[in-house]
Structure 1
Amino acid sequence: MNKVQQAFANGKAFIPFITAGDPSLEITEQLVLKMAEEGADLIELGIPFSDPVAEGLVIQRADERALAGGATTDKLFDMVRRIRKVCNVPMAFMTYVNPIFTYGTDRFMKNCQETGIDAVIVPDVPFEEKEELMPFCSKYNVDLISLIAPTSHDRIRMIAREAQGFVYCVSSMGVTGVRQEISSEVGEMVKLVKEAKDIPCAIGFGISSPEQAAKMVQFSDGVIVGSAIVKIVEQYGVDCVPYVAEYVQMMKKAVQTVK
């Protein structure tokens, strides 16, 4: 079992997302350690980018704040290196293909391996183009996480067969953000994945309340929550750590109650 799949080894997984560098890299570091302490099973760190196509306004604003604060990919790698000295929770970078290419794909994946990033999630690389990253991921033993959406239809089985780590099931179309209603198609998607491959499935996009999280893990292996956490960071700024910790604790409890 690889590091990413370990996140799903103890029942339903809770996977928080934060934008690295918002409000500062010091606070991001504290957030990672605190979220791990409160039971986060895998932590997703967003690399701030000036054109995040899949993101709603909450995460766009966080990206802007992080970039304005001087967060760079190199500084994020240094931060991960520090975190890894004291924290073993699986970690994934969520980014776009442009920052990886600009950095140098080989160098980027090599640094992931050396600093302790276990996986990358790159929403703007469709399945058909994943060969642009795959050889480098394989070379440095970094999982490339596949995303599926309700529109993936016939491609779901194909994507699932080649998926690594876990499958990121996008609960609804459009950009990230908190939603009131989450579609029931997700259960269908998970079923199709499992028919093709025995791999964990985590649902993301739009989940914010413990009730939604508990509902989603009834037919998946975990939930991913981003915008709701980034909103707390936005609201409290440098004082956000205890508030995020409390939220993670509450969400973790919600998913754990579901067997």
Structure 2
Amino acid sequence: MIFTRDHKQLLPYVTGDITDDWTDIVAAYADAGADAVEVGLPFSDPTLDGPTIQEASFVALSRGATADAIISDVAGAPVPLVASTYYQLVAYAGPERFCARLSRSGFRGLIVPDLPLEESAHLEAVAADAGVDLVLLAAPVTPAARLAEIARRSRGFIYAVSLMGTTGERDTLAPGAAALARALSTRTDLPVLLGFGIATPEQAVDAARGADGIVVGAALMRRVLDGVQPAAVGAFVASLRRALDSGVAADGEVPRDRR
């Protein structure tokens, strides 16, 4: 299992090859207390991603980024790794080769957001054979029966999407996000991590009320795109870590699961 439920889990994201020193960002995340790092393998048509992650992907691709090079570059990272990408890259390489390549470089999880649940059985089996957990996503509108199926088949953790839409920073956490995480938690022993729209320590605490942890991407990539150096990006991740560990939001309220 990639994550546990013994504390609130923190999964920050980085687009592979977004900068020359992008592996230093991974190291900074680890130093800041990240439990794992999500590494995005850039794709030319990232339909699930909002403007920030799209821009990050296009920057990486313009630099000549390839999935194989990114996977190789981050081998031996000081923190567990989770790859995220679109199915076309998996299919192009071949699921067996792709998953074996991930495993050799130390990746323990794989997220493929555009792969329908009904078509995921083959990749699920191939990934498992390679020692890589295929992580499934659930959304606020996912029917109860489908939530149960996702809870049964996901591996490593479940990625709870806080809203219907693309990734990106938002002023407030979407209504119902924590309820989705709680609904999933009643159906599985796997950790449930909530993502999409978490951009501040206060939002991190709010998200963790019902979830076992959070995923943060756009807020980090916006800093990188703006030229913020790895150490400073790591400092922001450290602020998220402190907020999750203290469990206290800006208004001083303690989440119900910590009372």
Give the TM-score of the pair, scaled to structure 2. Answer: 0.92
Q: Matches of residues 163-174 of structure 1 in structure 2 within 5 Å? A: 163-174=154-165
Secondary structure at 2:221's aligned position in 1? helix
Q: Give the % identical residues.
A: 33
- Alpha-carbon distance between aligned partners in 2 of 1:101 and 1:244, rounded to the nearest angstrom: 33
Q: Which amino acid aligns with 1:68?
A: S
Q: Which amino acid aligns with 1:242?
A: A
Q: Is the 8 A contact 2:5 2:191 kept in 1?
A: no
Q: Which amino acid aligns with 2:41?
A: I
1:100 alignment partner in structure 2: 90
Secondary structure at 1:182's aligned position in 2? coil
Matched, 1:149 2:117: no
Provide the alpha-carbon RMSD of the alignment. Answer: 1.3
Q: Which amino acid aligns with 2:54?
A: Q
1:43 alignment partner in structure 2: 37
- Please point out which of 67, 74, 81 is paired with 1:91: 81
1:53 alignment partner in structure 2: 47
Shift, 1:192, TM fit: 2.4
Q: Matches of residues 216-255 of structure 1 in structure 2 within 5 Å? A: 216-236=207-227, 240-255=229-244
- Alpha-carbon distance between aligned partners in 1 of 2:66 and 2:149, rounded to the nearest angstrom: 35
- Please point out which of 169, 175, 178 is paired with 1:178: 169
- Alpha-carbon distance between aligned partners in 2 of 1:242 and 1:194, rounded to the nearest angstrom: 34
Shift, 1:9, TM fit: 4.9
- Structure 2: gaps of 5 or more residues: 248-257
Matched, 1:136 2:132: no
Shift, 1:184, TM fit: 3.1
Alpha-carbon distance change, 198 to 46 in structure 1, aligned in 2, over 3 angstroms: same
1:65 alignment partner in structure 2: 59
1:46-103 residue CA offsets vs partner (Å, 9 max, x unmatched): 001100010001111111110111111111121122x33xx1x111001010011111
- Alpha-carbon distance between aligned partners in 2 of 1:29 and 1:144, rounded to the nearest angstrom: 23
Shift, 1:10, TM fit: 4.4
Query: How many aligned positions are there?
Result: 247
Shift, 1:11, TM fit: 0.6
Q: Is the 8 A contact 2:5 2:212 kept in 1?
A: no
Secondary structure at 2:107's aligned position in 1? coil
2:149 alignment partner in structure 1: 158
- Alpha-carbon distance between aligned partners in 1 of 2:124 and 2:198, rounded to the nearest angstrom: 29
Q: Is the 8 A contact 1:156 1:189 kept in 2?
A: no
Give the TM-score of the pair, scaled to structure 1. Answer: 0.92
Alpha-carbon distance change, 53 to 132 in structure 1, aligned in 2, over 3 angstroms: farther
- Alpha-carbon distance between aligned partners in 1 of 2:240 and 2:63, rounded to the nearest angstrom: 29
Secondary structure at 2:203's aligned position in 1? helix
Matched, 1:34 2:28: yes
Shift, 1:131, TM fit: 1.4
Deviates more, 1:192-201 or 1:109-118: 192-201
